[in-house]
Amino acid sequence: MLDKKKIKEDLEKERDLLIEDLKEMGRLNTESGEWEAVPEAMDFPEADPNDMADRFEDFESRSSLVNVLAPRLNNILKALKGLNRESFGLCVVCKNEIEPARLEANPAATTCKEHLEN
Ligand SMILES: [Zn+2]
């Protein structure tokens, strides 16, 4: 028997952590609904070229981290939405219960192992 309440609590915890991380490195573009990286706040705008290169590298690594975290957050939000559905935990193809281990690994899963999404 799936413990929906526990899954929901875990998801909400992970969601809050992800949002905190994302807020440190970027901002939510309210128009597109996408997270985007922002450069670290500049203490000295007239920084020398070496600093600028460092900052650029820093921004690059922030961007790639945001690109990893944002899809994870979206997946969790999707899963939280799915939790409210009557059919949560059931495969959309065969209507059988999805393996609990699979749901734990990916709470947004909508198919059993046999009917894995592409
Ligand atoms: Zn199935």
Find the 90 Cα to ligand 1 centroid distance in Å: 8
* 61: amino acid identity, one letter: S
Average pLDDT, the chain: 87
**Whose structure tokens read 């901002």?**
27
Q: How far does residue 74's CA lie from ligand 1's centre (Å)?
A: 23
Whole-angstrom distance, CA of residue 48 vs CA of residue 69:
31
Q: How close is the Cα of 111 to the center of ligand 1, in Å? A: 5
DSSP string, 37-56: E-PPPPS-TT--HHHHHHHH
CB proximity list for 38: less than 8 A, separation 6 or greater: 25, 26, 27, 62
Mean pLDDT of all residues in 3-8 = 86
pLDDT of 44 above 80: no
Q: In which residue are the tokens 């709470």 written?
A: 107
Determine contact, residues 30/92, Cβ cutoff 8 Å: no
Residue 103: per-residue pLDDT: 86
87 CA → ligand 1 middle, Å: 13
Give 71-113 as a DSSP string: HHHHHHHHHHHHHTSTTTTB-TTT-PBPPHHHHHH-TT--S-G
Per-residue model confidence as pLDDT tens digits over 71-87: 999 989 988 988 888 88
